[in-house]
A and B are shown apart, each in its own frame.
Chain A
Amino acid sequence: MHVRVADLTYTYPFGVQALKGVTLHIASGESVAIVGQNGAGKTTLVKHFNALLRPGSGSVWVGDWDTRQHTTARLARRVGYVFQNPDDQLFQSKVLAEVTFGPRNLGFETERVEALADMALNMVGLDHAAGQHPYDLSPGERKRVALAAVLAMDTPVIVLDEPTTGQDFIGVQRVGEIVEHLKAEGRTVLTITHDIDFCAEHFQRVIVMADGAILLDGESRQVLAQEEILAKTYVEPPQLVRLAKQLGMAGVPLTVEEFTNAHQGWLEASK
């Protein structure tokens, strides 16, 4: 399902203008990472996708729905939003209740709710924690409960706000696998992230924001090499891109594998 944002502006009630005219189109099945400095408006932008915020001016469309004409409850059918801070999202006393809450409220049948909850807990690696209280888990695990609660809603669009925050090495790998899985299923996956290496490895398109507007928008390989423009919004190219550049290698390697290939070519070239 596609998402279309046209000339969107938004000013918070306390006076800060967080979005100053954003226009973008995300095609169905695309995987998109939004990066940029703290306070750039990234979270404000995605909170419009499920009508947690309403446009000050301009519009946001999710498929054929204008978000101004639908409630957040209704948009929850199309857009799953995983909060940056799981403590803003979780409220049940059992992990399983947390994960079944969404699909049950969408009116799915009990069998489907159970199957989705099992699948979601399995994907985030928390099968064993179904009976636990979310607040007895570590913050990193709570974040994965929040992710499972949204995965279980089986929405065509999924928004992950800082999914790798507080995750250890294995947790980040797992989130990466989940993103790959969602991409393979043809879902539209959006993330907000400061983890540029994670972004390089899993997202085909990168949108760079600064001060309420879009600075750059394009294919990851092209965007993540723009060192000077990224610096304007406090973002640096991925580790391997910086390394390749310093070495004078050709290309923009986004993964260790790509770097290894580029390195071989670079060695050959010197002979």
Chain B
Amino acid sequence: MIQLMQVTYSYPVTSRPALREITLEIPTGQFCALVGANGAGKSTLAYTIAGFIPHFYHGNLAGSVLIDGKETSQVPLSQLVQQVGLIFQNPFNQISGTKFTVREEIAFGLENLGLPRDEMEARIQATLSLVGIEDLAERYPLALSGGQMQRVAIASVLAMRPQVLVLDEPTSQLDPVGSREVFAAVRALIVEGGITVVMIEHKLEWVAVFADRVIALVDGALAADGDPQEVLTDETLVGKTIGQTRYTRAARQAQRSGYWPQDRQLPVTLEQAVDGFRESRGTPAG
């Protein structure tokens, strides 16, 4: 369980807070997506949950951040990294640069955890297959394409099996099917391992399908927090720089012309859109 109470944070030598009075609770096993404009504080919130703030970035942190009931500021970083895994936005920042194969790169975190060799090998194999990069195992990490490197960065954190996984735009350089696979893999980890996930994402179609909850940040503060369909169809958020899927936009157009079924919520997924438009034609929803 992740708990934030009245969290306000300013980076060093800045006066404007990057996070403002954030209070939220994320229960164990929840898949929580974080959306918002560039500069709204999404990465800062991710760093705060992962303990990077205040352990790595100093600045001014007020309020409290608890993982499993313990203040992250009081837990040594060496212990925190075993609980919370953070996947950076730019995979280049995640790759150690000291390893010659992808397999060794994934082993890096496990070596630091002091795992026995057999256990490491089993975890590496399982993670390579989960992320779909078995064919890259013997390649040099820094000579991969952007998307391939991003998968390696994800794998290197997943192999450590953290209880809380924080991902900062983990699919930004992935092909469309690869993006959906990352969402599905994260979902599978929740179902199988009971982990808690906070994921920053702009790919709303997959957020809508896979996440349990969407939190929207505007200018460092919580602007909306709830069920994906409720938050992602909230028209008042469009003016506050939160995007919407094409399904929602097309259905809103239809609704304006009176062609969307009354009392039916606007869709955020393909399935919901198909049902709604079928009903608009008088065909019973599938």
Q: Which residues of A contact B (CB under 8 A)?
A: 12, 14, 16, 36-39, 43, 84-85, 87, 138-141, 162, 165-172, 194, 196-197, 231, 233-236, 238-240, 242-243, 246-247, 256, 259-260, 263-264, 266-267, 270
For residue B159, give the distance in angstroms from its CB to the closest CB of chain A: 20
Contact A246 B270 (CB under 8 A): yes
Chain A residues whose CB sits within 8 angstroms of the CB of B280 once the complex forms: 263, 267
Q: Which residues of B contact A (CB under 8 A)?
A: 36-40, 43, 89-90, 92, 140, 143-148, 151, 169, 172-179, 202, 205, 241-243, 245-247, 249-250, 253-254, 257, 259, 270, 273-274, 277-278, 280-283
Further contacts, 17 of them, CB under 8 A, given A169-B241, A243-B247: A38-B178, A85-B146, A140-B39, A165-B173, A166-B38, A166-B172, A168-B40, A168-B202, A170-B241, A172-B243, A194-B173, A235-B175, A243-B277, A247-B277, A259-B246, A267-B280, A267-B281
For residue B183, give the distance in angstroms from its CB to the closest CB of chain A: 13
Chain A residues whose CB sits within 8 angstroms of the CB of B89 once the complex forms: 139, 166
For residue A45, give the distance in angstroms from its CB to the closest CB of chain B: 12
Chain B residues whose CB sits within 8 angstroms of the CB of A170 once the complex forms: 37, 241
Q: What is the bound-complex CA distance between A12 and B143, given in angstroms?
A: 9
Q: If the complex has contacts A36-B175, A85-B90, A234-B175, are A239 and B146 also in contact, measured as CB distance less than 8 A?
A: no
* Closest residue of B by beta carbon distance from A241: B246
Contact B202 A167 (CB under 8 A): yes
Chain A residues whose CB sits within 8 angstroms of the CB of B246 once the complex forms: 197, 238-240, 243, 256, 259
Q: What is the bound-complex CA distance between A227 and B4, given in angstroms?
A: 44
For residue A165, give the distance in angstroms from its CB to the closest CB of chain B: 5
Q: What is the bound-complex CA distance between A170 and B173, given in angstroms?
A: 19
Chain B residues whose CB sits within 8 angstroms of the CB of A239 once the complex forms: 205, 245-247, 270
CB pairs A–B below 8 angstroms (5 shown): A84-B146, A138-B38, A239-B245, A263-B259, A270-B281
Interface centre among B89, B246, B257 (most CB of A within 10 A): B246
Chain B residues whose CB sits within 8 angstroms of the CB of A39 once the complex forms: 144-145, 147-148
Contact B250 A14 (CB under 8 A): no
Contact A168 B36 (CB under 8 A): yes
